[in-house]
Chains A and B, each alone.
Chain A
């Protein structure tokens, strides 16, 4: 059971928009920055969003992040078949003194 809760799966059609939620508590999301990662099978995970809403160089603005209270959200617009992957949120948990990830969300682009 992950400390951060994500939906197991989401799906949408090409060109559409999807959001992935990440729910936590005051000891993690509520008081620390959230990051998001994209993981395609057999490859290294890729950082998509850091510090709640910042994009690393090279990440298109189709990807966005937001945080409110103890929840965070990853948004992806203009969905492409290449976006099919597992997505993870992550943050530091001050009570556990540990970095925690969500259980992951599998995105299917129909």
Chain B
């Protein structure tokens, strides 16, 4: 059974940093692109970042470019999102997702809540 379990969310002050993790199991992690998608309170889904299976290709939404860094450790079956210079508008539930090259996400984690507030 495919499982994606996010962790690392919490309350952080504006300008602060947080590192999200996603532990994957039930599939060959190193064969798949992985992604982060978020949903702010009362808003729709927003794609954040994608990383290819071997980390050769990385993409970011304009809203997080230069502040967030996506990475993965295929030996540990883990995906990460380092978030720096956090803003109030980064407050959201962050989902880890498994992806395909035609840009769809077939499995989603339950999400981890990030709250940026003073």
Q: A residues bordering B, Cβ < 8 Å?
A: 2, 32-33, 35, 37, 39, 43-47, 50-51, 56, 86, 88, 90-92, 96-104
In the complex the two chains form, is A50's CB within 8 Å of B100's CB?
yes
Q: B residues bordering A, Cβ < 8 Å?
A: 35, 37, 44-47, 50, 59, 61-62, 95, 100, 102-111
Instruction: Please give me the residue from chain A that is nearest to B46 by CB atom.
Output: A101
Kindly count the residue-residue contacts between A and B in the assembled complex, taking CB atoms under 8 Å apart.
66
For the complex formed, measure the closest distance between the CB of A22 and the CB atoms of chain B, giving whole angstroms: 12
Known A44-B109, A44-B110, A45-B95: A101·B44 in contact at CB below 8 Å: yes
Partner of A90, one of B59, B95, B103: B103
Residues of B within 8 A of A101 (CB): 44-47
Most A CB within 10 A of own CB, among B37, B44, B103, B106: B103
Partner of A44, one of B44, B62, B103, B111: B111
Instruction: Kindly state the separation between the CA atoms of A102 and B44 in the bound complex, as whole angstroms.
Output: 8
Instruction: Kindly state the separation between the CA atoms of A86 and B62 in the bound complex, as whole angstroms.
Output: 25
Residues of A within 8 A of B111 (CB): 44
Residues of B within 8 A of A43 (CB): 110
In the complex the two chains form, is A33's CB within 8 Å of B95's CB?
no
Known A50-B100, A98-B62: A39·B45 in contact at CB below 8 Å: yes
Known A98-B61, A103-B44: A35·B104 in contact at CB below 8 Å: yes
Known interface pairs A44-B109, A104-B45; 20 further A-B residue pairs with C-beta atoms within 8 A, sorted by A's residue number: A32-B103, A33-B103, A33-B104, A35-B103, A37-B45, A45-B37, A46-B108, A47-B106, A47-B107, A50-B104, A50-B106, A56-B106, A90-B47, A90-B104, A98-B61, A99-B35, A99-B103, A101-B46, A103-B44, A104-B44
**Which 6 A-B pairs have CB atoms at the shortest separation, nearest pair first?**
A35-B104, A44-B108, A92-B103, A99-B47, A104-B44, A50-B104
